Amino acid sequence: MADRSSTAFQPASLDSNRSTGTMDPISPSSTREMDIALDTLQGSKDRWINLDLGRKINILDQLMVDFNAVADEWVAVSMQAKGIPKNSFGEGEEWFNIAISNRLIRLYKGALLDIQKHGKPTIPGPMTTNPNGQLSVQVFPQTNIDRLLLRGTTCQIIMEPGITPKKLVQDQASIYQQVDPAGKITLVLGAGNTSFLIPGDILAKSINEGHVILFKPNPINEYLGPLVEYAFRSLIEPGYMRVAYGGAEQGSYLSPHPLVDDLHMTVSHRPFEASVGGARAEGAQRIAAADPLLK
């Protein structure tokens, strides 16, 4: 990994040694590094949410290129970390994570193109009203490839009571309808061992909600951190995303930080409790007393 002692959170460069699936241990981020990252995001959050759609589409195009540039290594280090043998069913699952991530990037780009052209994302299927009066919207299949590969498979989302077709369309892509909206910083704490959750969480918050991102992987999957830095450098280089490292101590510092507006977690109960209540004994006491740091 690139040396973080002098410059915080620079995009990682691909290293030929890592093609074998080996990675050096990653040192936890210092308080100073995390503060620098948050200060950068604070300065870019309004710029990101108001960024021209065409430039966001270009960022997704570059993300697709960079993500696929590290796909082989992403799979290799994931297999090494989980002890998955080559040419096994498990290897196929790791490549499935790559395929889903590519699909997510493509679908978000398609949604932005729809907004650019029509003002709203296109709903691919019909809207129907269920017998109880709730609106049901078919969202899959979206393409002819979907129809071919998963013939006969459909997916509907049932809306909350009171949501009408008119209100549904009005509320679509709401941040893209606002005039000069205010940006937000989201802390994404990621510990899922299904690695497509990493790009999924980052894209949901950055593209769907318009937030800038501080991503901190759990120590259990931080082996993907340098690859995330490379894959997402189209967001990192302009200051719309940063990556921090460490465990419960870093999570409990970042979660209640005054610059963090939003928290998204895929974690076990221990980092959840540390993030909500605080680190170590003090955190346990807060949880027991129902007095969490995060309200």
Whether residue 17 is contained in a domain is answered as no
Within this chain, do residues 139 and 198 fall inside the same structural domain, yes or no?
A: no
- How high is the mean pLDDT of the chain? 88
Using an 8 Å Cβ cutoff, are 79 and 90 in contact? yes
Q: Band of the pLDDT at 285, cuts 50, 70, 90?
A: confident
Whether residue 3 is contained in a domain is answered as no
Amino acid at 208: N
Within this chain, do residues 204 and 219 fall inside the same structural domain, yes or no?
A: yes
Mean pLDDT, to the nearest integer, of 119-138? 94
pLDDT digits (tens, 9 = 90+) for 225-261: 999 999 999 999 999 999 999 988 898 899 989 999 9
Cα dihedral across residues 179, 41, 59, 91: positive or negative: negative
Q: What is the pLDDT of residue 2?
A: 38
Within this chain, do residues 111 and 216 fall inside the same structural domain, yes or no?
A: yes
Whether residue 73 is contained in a domain is answered as yes
Tell me: pLDDT of 213 over 70.
Answer: yes
Within this chain, do residues 207 and 101 fall inside the same structural domain, yes or no?
A: yes
pLDDT digits (tens, 9 = 90+) for 61-73: 999 999 999 999 9
289 compared with 82, residue with greater pLDDT: 82
Q: Which domain holds residue 249?
A: 29-121+172-288
Whether residue 280 is contained in a domain is answered as yes
Please give the structure tokens belonging to residue 236: 């990192």
Q: Band of the pLDDT at 287, cuts 50, 70, 90?
A: confident
Within this chain, do residues 126 and 228 fall inside the same structural domain, yes or no?
A: no
pLDDT digits (tens, 9 = 90+) for 155-195: 999 999 999 999 999 999 999 999 999 999 999 998 777 89
Q: What is the pLDDT of residue 259?
A: 97
Prediction pTM value: 0.85
CA distances for 287 relative to 225, 246, 253, angstroms = 30, 22, 16
Please give the structure tokens belonging to residue 71: 């796909």
Question: In total, how many domains does the chain have?
Answer: 2
Q: What is the pLDDT of residue 191?
A: 74
